[in-house]
Structure 1
Amino acid sequence: METQCITEFPHRNMDKRPRKKPRLTWDMPPPIPPSQVLPAIYCGQEFASGAVPNHAHSSVYYKGAPRNGSSARRDDKDGHYIFSIGENLTPRYRILSKMGEGTFGQVLECLDNEQKEVVAIKIIRSIHKYREAAMIEIDVLQKLAKHDISGSRCVQIRNWFDYRNHICIVFEKLGPSLYDFLRKNSYRSFPIDLVREIGRQLLESVAFMHDLRLIHTDLKPENILLVSSEYVKVPDYKFLSWPTKDGSHFKNLPKFSAIKLIDFGSTTFEHQDHSYVVSTRHYRAPEVILGLGWNYPCDLWSVGCILVELCSGEALFQTHENLEHLAMMERVLGPLPQHMVIRSDRRSEKYFRRGSRLDWPEGATSRESIKAVWKLPRLQNLVMQHVDHSAGDLIDLLQRLLRYDPAERLKAREALRHPFFTRDLRRCGYSL
């Protein structure tokens, strides 16, 4: 099989996967070449259209940034730091480009003038609750780094500092997230051997955290980064018979399978309060939705959802509301257990008829919602549509990770001993 090794990912056909609620990503337009950077170029926020306005003069501005190049105001109305390409964050770090942003703030690519390496710096919004969360994240990162001697499981913190009322966390620079890779690859699924290797590393990282009595609570493809940005272009046999002009009969695969977890801003210790809502919607466990409290098993539910997404290219539960989410779960996995329904909190009672049966489709908000649930296949059929070999082992693993009752769900180290990872040692590892 002929492959082509590439290090820069093309940006075409990137957003074809339908979503009811777009998720934040770290993807940004390519950095402006240094030769084109002017002092008046600011990166406070993107234009909604992604386009740059055509000014009569040569300066390029981003929406929300001061147009006079003044550095007097350093925050926008939401507390995001307004910066210019080429400026310094303290004398040590020079800003090269913007890598992405989220509710927490922004991530910048910077040059560490002291260590002579490129790093990623997370600049937290200058708002009290985000600053507090950042200090908790730093505590978690330092604990992880202390025990992860090889630095192979979680992103490594290099440094942190407080700059103009913004907590800045310095990380090693990694490759794209799994979500970004799927998105830029037109949501084409990964081969099963790559899913196996990523799943193994993911479970090892989760087991490592759980051994330290830490619960990530926000596992998702956006928070799993490939260590390398390199990828190869290979024939996509599902599309070879289609006459296309856009190269769709080829797909991209990571050249290397190594991954690391990121974003520990929501990570909690075992002894902390576990009654509030956690996890990004698509990866949220049923016990969280039903208000039953949560613990380590909520991470394993997320892992199950992630593995399905890597196999299919699509998020398993593409929804934005609780009732529809529960209906999707029942469609894919079967009915919710009565003992969980009976124990659900008062906020969840409205999702059930006479306290037992899910209020579906009677309680649906629209016909589109009913159709979205109806078109979902059972878990076994979904896997069989996308997996050539090892389907039986994968289905069994997923059924154990996606158990409704958290007490019956596989633990991370138990999952690592599952036949999906151990049955055929010849299939261990990933190679092109």
Structure 2
Amino acid sequence: METQRVTELPLRNMDKRPRKRPRLTWDVPPPAPPPPKVLSAMYCGQDFGNGVIPNYAYTNLFYRDVPVPHNCSPPWRPDDKDGHYVFAIGENLTPSYRILSKMGEGTFGQVLECFDNEKKEVVAIKIVRSIHKYREAAMIEIDVLQRLARHDIGGTRCVQIRNWFDYRNHICIVFEKLGPSLYDFLRKNSYRSFPIDLVRELGRQLLESVAFMHDLRLIHTDLKPENILLVSSEYIKVPDCKFLSRSTKDGSYFKNLPKSSAIKLIDFGSTTFEHQDHSYVVSTRHYRAPEVILGLRWNYPCDLWSVGCILVELCSGEALFQTHENLEHLAMMERVLGPLPQHMAVRADRHAEKYFRRGTRLDWPDGATSRESMRAVWKLPRLPNLIMQHVDHSAGDLIDLLQGLLRYDPAERLKAREALGHPFFKREPRRCGYTL
């Protein structure tokens, strides 16, 4: 069957899903002297959501300044009110890197697409806000990245750090340039799910990367589709198998698939070592393990819970637990997976014990904040039914794998290498008129 090859996804309606959680906040340092005046040049401040989205350039702030020669740094100018570096498309970030576009922005700072003038390649540079605690977090991330790079032979599991430097009070981390995140791919593809054979391949790579980190005694703590990047931006347009029996004149009966299934993990700003304190809240809400919500100490298994949630999202197109509140989140878990173990409920910390009656039974629906919240829980199917709605073959194996990854008790949850040996990953792929 003929397929259409394209290199950039069409932008569809943006959703209101919350992005990366705020991590730290603090005051902006005192302003420095103003820049010199002059001719016109276009500068970018901040105006984009979290995540790394390739091929977008935003220009929302205009300065008048002297044109900058291509072989030197631009004149000094103050950061914006939030401590973000203010830049101009086409100018240099140090003499080594020329700014091509703005790729994305998060609470940490900005990511710019740049051209490495020395190595003659395009790179992605994360420019951290000029705030003390963000700078400290960036230095920890650099340490983790360098540790990963030393052990990741071939650089196939995690994004590769190329360089880092301190530029005008901004920690700048130079990365290889990758494609869109799995979340951005789903969003721009109208949340159409991936074929099960592609989910299998993505899941296998994800678990290999997690196992690799765990072998190094590192816990990612923020696994989610936004932090999993496709290596290539290229994709193919194919008929949607669910609509093959209908007319294909409407473009909605087609969906996009990555041309290559290769992926890498990013964002190690929350990564922690095994021996460090594990009592604080980690993970983005939708992917947060029950032991984290209940205030119990967490460890490697919290990453595997996140992997289970991600696999469900890839094969359904939607986040498994779409919630913003702890009690509702726990009620959703019970609706999909069955009741929480009593031994975990009785050990919940003082902040979480209020979610239970008599210490063991979840206070639901009595504790629900609204009818909308109750409906959001009631509409969820049990895990087997949810998977069978979206998976035509391999459903049994996938359900069994997910039940191992989404076990409440972290001590009973599958480990990464155990999950890689599951029968789900040993099936031969079946294709639907295209090549993965």
Q: Does the alignment reach a TM-score above 0.5? A: yes
- Contact 1:97–1:108, Cα closer than 8 Å, also in 2: yes
More moved, 77-86 vs 164-173: 77-86
Does the Cα contact within 8 Å between 1:39 and 1:84 map onto a contact in 2? no
Tell me, in whole angstroms, the C-alpha distance in 2 between the residues paired with 1:322 and 1:41: 44
- Partner amino acid, structure 1, of 2:205: Q
Q: What do the CA deviations read for 1:51-95 (whole angstroms, capped 9, x no partner)?
A: xxxxxxxxx9944x3544486533111111111101111100000
1:160 aligns with 2:164: yes
Structure 1 residues 47 and 150, CA, compared in 2 at 3 Å: closer, same or farther?
A: closer
Quick one: which of 327, 334, 341 aligns to 2:338?
Answer: 334
Alignment of 1:72-151 (within 5 A): 73-151=77-155
Alignment correspondent of 1:42 = 43
Matches within 5 A, 1:346-361: 346-361=350-365
1:418 equivalent in structure 2: 422
Matched to 1:14, the amino acid is N
* Counterpart mapping for 1:392-431 below 5 A: 392-422=396-426, 424-425=427-428, 431=435
Classify the secondary structure of the residue corresponding to 2:115: strand
CA 39–244 in structure 1, closer or farther in 2 if over 3 Å, else same? farther
State the identity %: 84
Aligned to 1:187, the other structure's residue is in SS state coil
Q: What residue identity is the alignment partner of 1:46?
A: D
Secondary structure of 2:138's counterpart equals helix
Give, in whole Å, the separation in 1 of the partners of 2:245 and 2:197.
Answer: 24
- 1:153 to 1:66, Cα distance in 2 relative to 1, 3 A: same
> 3-state DSSP class of the match of 2:411?
helix
Higher mean C-alpha displacement, 306-315 vs 355-364:
355-364
Structure 1 partner of 2:13 = 14
360-369 or 402-411, which deviates more: 360-369
* Equivalent position of 2:284 in the other structure: 280
1:53-72 matches, within 5 Å, as: 62-63=59-60, 65-69=61-65
Q: How many angstroms does 1:46 deviate by?
A: 2.2
Q: 2:328, 2:368 within 8 Å by CA — same for their partners in 1?
A: yes
* Mapped partners of 2:142, 2:377: distance in 1: 40
Q: How does 1:169-318 map to 2 (within 5 A)?
A: 169-240=173-244, 247-318=251-322
Letter in structure 2 aligned against 1:23: R
* 1:252 alignment partner, SS class: strand
Secondary structure of the residue aligned to 1:159 is strand
Q: CA deviation at 1:22?
A: 2.4
- Equivalents in 2 of 1:234, 1:384: separation in Å? 23
The question of whether the paired residues in 2 share the 8 Å contact of 1:41 and 1:61 is answered with: no
Residue 410 of structure 1 aligns with an amino acid whose one-letter code is L
Q: Secondary structure at the match of 1:101?
A: strand
Is the CA contact 2:163–2:174 (under 8 Å) kept in the aligned structure 1? Answer: yes
Count how many residue pairs are aligned between Structure 1 and Structure 2: 402
Q: How far apart are 1:350 and its partner, in Å?
A: 1.2
Instruction: Name the Cα RMSD after superposition.
Output: 2.1
- Deviation, 1:106, is 0.5
Q: 1:367 to 1:238 in 2, by over 3 A?
A: same
- CA shift at 1:8, angstroms? 1.5
Q: CA deviation at 1:415?
A: 0.2
Q: SS of the residue aligned with 1:408?
A: coil
Contact 2:48 2:105 in 1 (8 A): no
Aligned residue for 1:111, secondary structure, equals strand
The offset of 1:245, in angstroms, is 7.0
Confirm whether residue 370 of structure 1 aligns to residue 340 of structure 2: no
Residue equivalent to 1:32: none
Contact kept, 8 Å, 1:14 with 1:185, in 2: the verdict is: no
Q: Which runs of 5+ in 2 are unaligned?
A: 22-38, 50-56, 67-74
Tell whether the 8 Å contact from 1:109 to 1:120 is kept in structure 2 after alignment: yes
The 8 Å contact of residues 239 and 248 in structure 1, kept in 2 or not, is answered as no
Structure 2: distance between partners of 1:22 and 1:146:
34
Distance in 1 between the 2:217 and 2:182 partners? 26
* 1:154-173 residue CA offsets vs partner (Å, 9 max, x unmatched): 00000000000000000000
Separation (CA, whole Å) in 2 of partners of 1:158 and 1:72: 25
Q: Is the 8 A contact 1:61 1:67 kept in 2?
A: no
Contact 2:40 2:64 (C-alpha < 8 Å) held by counterparts:
no
CA distance in 2 between partners of 1:384 and 1:106 (Å): 40
Q: C-alpha displacement at 1:246, in angstroms?
A: 5.4
